Chains A and B, each alone.
Chain A
Amino acid sequence: MSVPDKRMSLKEAVSRYVHDGDSVYYGGFQIMVPMALTHEMVRQRKKNLTIFNASTDVGGLDLLVAAGCVKEMHLAWAMNWCVKAPYAIRRAFQASEIQRFDLSNCSATSALLGGSLGIPFVAVRGNIGTDIVENNTNDLKVIEDPFTGEKITIVRAWRADVAIIHAQKADPLGNVVSWGTRGVTDEFGAMGSRRGVIVTAEEIIDTEVVRSDPDRTIVPYFKTLAVVHCPWGAHPSACRGYYGLDIRFCQYQGKYERSADLLPKFLDEWIYSCPDHDAYIQKYVRMFGPEGLERLRPKLGFKSKLEVDYGYHDPAIWQGVPQYTDKYIRG
Chain B
Amino acid sequence: MAATFRLTELMVVRCAKEIKDGEVVFAGVGLPLVVVSFAMATHAPNMILLTEGGSIRATAPPGLAISVDDPALFTNADATHGMIATMGTLQRGEVDVAFIGGSQIDRFGNINSTGVGSWGTPGTFTYFAGSGGANDMATSGKRVLAIMPQDPKKFVEKLDYVTTPGFLDGPGARERLGMIGGGPSVVVSTMAVYRFDAITKEMVLAEYFPGQSVEKVRANCSFDLKVAPDVKETEPPTEGEIALLRNIDPTGFYLR
Q: Give chain A's interface residues, CB within 8 Å of chain B.
A: 29-31, 54-55, 57, 75-79, 81, 85-86, 89-90, 93-96, 100, 102-107, 109-110, 113, 124-132, 135, 150-152, 180-185, 187-188, 238, 240, 244-245, 247, 298-299, 302
Contact = CB atoms under 8 A, between A and B. Distances in A.
28 contacts: A29-B68, A29-B69, A30-B66, A30-B68, A30-B69, A31-B69, A31-B71, A54-B83, A75-B130, A77-B131, A94-B125, A104-B134, A106-B83, A106-B136, A109-B83, A125-B136, A125-B140, A128-B178, A129-B173, A132-B135, A132-B162, A152-B178, A180-B71, A181-B80, A182-B82, A184-B69, A185-B82, A240-B71
Contact of B179 (A103, A125, A238, A244): A125
Contacts of A93: 125, 127
Given A93-B125, A96-B123, A182 B54 contact: yes
Given A130-B165, A240-B71, 10 more contacts: A54-B83, A85-B128, A86-B128, A89-B127, A105-B136, A125-B180, A129-B165, A129-B173, A129-B174, A299-B63
B54 A105 contact: no
Contact of B129 (A79, A106, A125): A79
Contacts of A57: 67, 69
Contact of B83 (A105, A126, A180, A245): A105
Name, among A89, A180, A188, the residue most crowded by chain B CB atoms within 10 Å (CB to CB): A180
A125 B139 contact: yes
A244 B130 CA distance: 25
Contacts of B127: 86, 89-90, 93, 100
B84 A81 contact: no
Contacts of A135: 119-120
Contacts of A132: 131, 135, 162-163
A77 B30 CA distance: 14
A181 B82 contact: yes
Contacts of B131: 76-77, 102-105, 132
Interface of B: 29, 52-55, 62-63, 66-71, 74-76, 80-84, 87, 90-91, 110, 114-115, 119-120, 122-136, 139-140, 161-165, 168, 173-174, 177-180, 253
Contacts of A106: 83, 87, 90-91, 133, 135-136
A95 B174 CA distance: 36
Given A85-B128, A130-B135, A245 B162 contact: no
B84 A31 contact: no
A130 B91 CA distance: 17
A294 B182 CA distance: 47
Contacts of A187: 82
A180 B54 contact: no
Contacts of B81: 182
Nearest to A32: B69
A196 B11 CA distance: 47
Contact of B80 (A54, A78, A182): A182
A10 to B, nearest CB: 24
B16 to A, nearest CB: 22
A104 B63 CA distance: 28
Give the interface centre of A55, A57, A86 by most chain B CB atoms within 10 Å: A55
Contact of B67 (A30, A54, A75, A94): A30
B52 to A, nearest CB: 5
B131 to A, nearest CB: 4
A245 B251 CA distance: 15
Given A57-B67, A81-B67, A104 B82 contact: no
A106 B119 CA distance: 22
B126 A90 contact: yes
A308 B75 CA distance: 19
In the A-B complex, list the 5 residue pairs whose CB atoms are closest, starting with the nearest: A77-B132, A30-B67, A105-B133, A104-B135, A106-B87
Contact of B84 (A95, A110, A131, A302): A110
Contacts of B180: 125
A162 B11 CA distance: 44
